[in-house]
Structure 1
Amino acid sequence: MMTTTTTTTTLTTLTTATRGTARRATRTVARVARPTFARATAVGGASRTRTTRARRGGAVVTRADALAPPAVFDAACAASEKKSAQAPTTTLTLGFAAGALIGLGALLMTCVGGASPALAANNPGLSAFVKGAIGLPAGLTMVILTGAELFTGNVFVMLSGALNGVANERQVARSWALSYAGNFAGSVFMAYMAYTAMTAASPAASAAAVGIATAKASLPFVAAFTKGVLCNWLVCLAVWGTMATTSVAGKILAIFWPITMFVALGFEHSVANMFLIPHGMLLGANVSWAQMMTGNIIPVTLGNIVGAAVFVAGVHWLAYGKK
């Protein structure tokens, strides 16, 4: 009897020990398999990037949430090299798509933010934010996610490559000319489509479109140029942000704040204006094509080029490029 009791006690003890060992082993495996977050110092700067580490198949895999700034500049140069080898018809086609998509964003801004006169009268600050947040961020998001060719971003990318020695002057000029021509055609096409579809047929939306076109075509040259500089500084920083991440959500967030900022502050974007002014003209704005070009498109385009060249491509080449 004593022997049986001893044997039973021994078995119980062994079972309990085995279960404890199994639980500890399970916890150990869970800790190894669970992703852990570490802070990694970004190359070439004091900023820090959060990374995710996890074991996959016995190896540790590290995934950064965003590229460090020098790596983003390298990515822009690589994109410049790729665009330099792109067929002219491809650049022109993608330019047309970008102009149409930016036009859609500008149309949304007009029909929602612009067509809210009571909000503009009672709360002009909020009205400006609504116009900035609803419309052009959506347009640029579609451009980035589809790979369309937007002239204003192209200036930053191609100049980065030229400054770093991976693109020559002829390639830069060709890419600029084709993307610009494609953007113009796509924007005017979308203006005509929006007019034909009577998208801004309501009195408030029609008045907004006419008012926007008239105001833009009436800007003094220096004001239009300066607004163009400030605008494309922000637009190219949005493009920079989208290059820093492979996440769709990250790209959308990188686009939202700079684009909302430039619209809310009243800066000028040449490609958006290629839609906004013709659209207003179709709806009755007393603006001629000559007034559109000399009063807005030409000075704004020049300002957009300077903003991208000096404050994005130039500044970051001095900081991170080959000297």
Structure 2
Amino acid sequence: MSYVQPQDFVTKMIDAGEAKVFMSTRDTLIRAFMAGAILALAAAFAVTINVQTGQPLAGAILFPVGFCLLYLMGFDLLTGVFTLVPLALIDKRPGVTLGGVLRNWGLVFTGNFAGALIVALMMAITFTFGFSVEPNEVGQKIGHIGEGRTLGYAEHGAAGMLTLFIRGVLCNWMVSTGVVAAMMSTSVSGKVIGMWMPIMLFFYMGFEHSIVNMFLFPSGLMLGGNFSIMDYLIWNEIPTVIGNLVGGLSFVGLTLYVTHGRTGAKRAAPSGRIIDPAGVPAE
């Protein structure tokens, strides 16, 4: 599968983060819009599979098709730039500033939300024949998802908020692992296999993904879900965004950067030889 060594793909991670900081506003917004739209379609696809088959695992197995497509086309999700872009700042790449990082995050958030919202409207129209009839079975399911993953957390107060945050952390731990896994191979098949596994895991486990939720909850509101915009923002989107940031940057970006990008000094073996991490004596 044309495997790329960790020290090499970590360099690719930093290079990608740097490139995103300096990308034009137009390109950043277009790529983010398309990423949000494609991921929203994949979410609608997965929910449809779950409803029609009654097998959540089937939806989870097939959901990653959207993630793989958007990544291979070079589009950007907020969850991915949370992990990659700060590495360029930490690595002190010339011209990369905190302001540049925040600018990228803001533009990608805006583009992702716009793309997901457009698809939410389109899917709501298809579920209701242009809002002329009650939502079909899939539309009703999406409305109930919105209720359970806003008011359901609110019922538990602080414990619900903590659970929501941790699910956001766990989500981007897996999603960002998928982003990085695509850099572990130079072949399309290797990239797809690498991405597929962690994305399938996050979706089946019900972790909270800020961009997927940008589709599920606005569409849920359009389809008659019994929750409000403030319920969505306070009891899902905002804590999920923060959890996604912490999960991706802490458990993927920084850990890989520290151990492979800035590897610690090797210890000397008793014989005086230097052993590399793979257990092979250094030259």
Equivalences for 1:234-245 in 2 at 5 Å?
A: 234-245=174-185
Equivalences for 1:136-215 in 2 at 5 Å?
A: 137-166=64-93, 167-198=96-127, 203-215=136-148
Rounded to whole Å, the distance in 1 between the matches of 2:51 and 2:247 is 26
1:302, CA displacement in angstroms?
Answer: 0.4
**Residue 109 (str. 1) matches residue 46 (str. 2):** yes
When the two structures are aligned, how many residues end up with a matched partner? 250
Equivalences for 1:1-323 in 2 at 5 Å?
A: 65-116=2-53, 119=54, 127-135=55-63, 137-166=64-93, 167-198=96-127, 203-218=136-151, 219=153, 220-322=160-262
Question: CA distance change for structure 1 residues 235 and 199 in 2, over 3 Å: closer, same or farther?
Answer: farther
Structure 1 contact 73–160 (Cα < 8 Å) conserved: no
Structure 2 contact 78–109 (Cα < 8 Å) conserved: yes
SS at match of 1:66: coil
| Structure number with bigger Rg | 1
| Counterpart residue identity of residue 231, structure 1 | C
Rounded to whole Å, the distance in 2 between the matches of 1:252 and 1:199 is 34
SS at match of 1:285: coil
1:297, CA displacement in angstroms?
Answer: 0.2
SS at match of 1:296: helix
1:214, CA displacement in angstroms?
Answer: 1.1
Q: Structure 1 stretch 232-241 or stretch 253-262: which is displaced more? A: 253-262
Normalising by structure 1, report the TM-score: 0.74
Rounded to whole Å, the distance in 2 between the matches of 1:128 and 1:202 is 21
| Counterpart residue identity of residue 308, structure 1 | G
1:202, CA displacement in angstroms?
Answer: 6.7
Structure 1 contact 163–317 (Cα < 8 Å) conserved: no
1:151, CA displacement in angstroms?
Answer: 0.5
SS at match of 2:127: coil
Runs of at least 5 residues in structure 1 that lack an aligned partner in the other structure: 1-63, 120-126
Question: CA distance change for structure 1 residues 170 and 237 in 2, over 3 Å: closer, same or farther?
Answer: same
Rounded to whole Å, the distance in 2 between the matches of 1:87 and 1:67 is 29
Q: Percent identity?
A: 30
Rounded to whole Å, the distance in 2 between the matches of 1:77 and 1:139 is 24
Question: CA distance change for structure 1 residues 321 and 161 in 2, over 3 Å: closer, same or farther?
Answer: same
Normalising by structure 2, report the TM-score: 0.84
Rounded to whole Å, the distance in 2 between the matches of 1:129 and 1:231 is 17
SS at match of 2:149: helix
* Structure with a larger share of its residues in strand: 1
Runs of at least 5 residues in structure 2 that lack an aligned partner in the other structure: 154-159, 264-283
Query: What's the RMSD between the two structures over aligned residues?
Result: 1.7
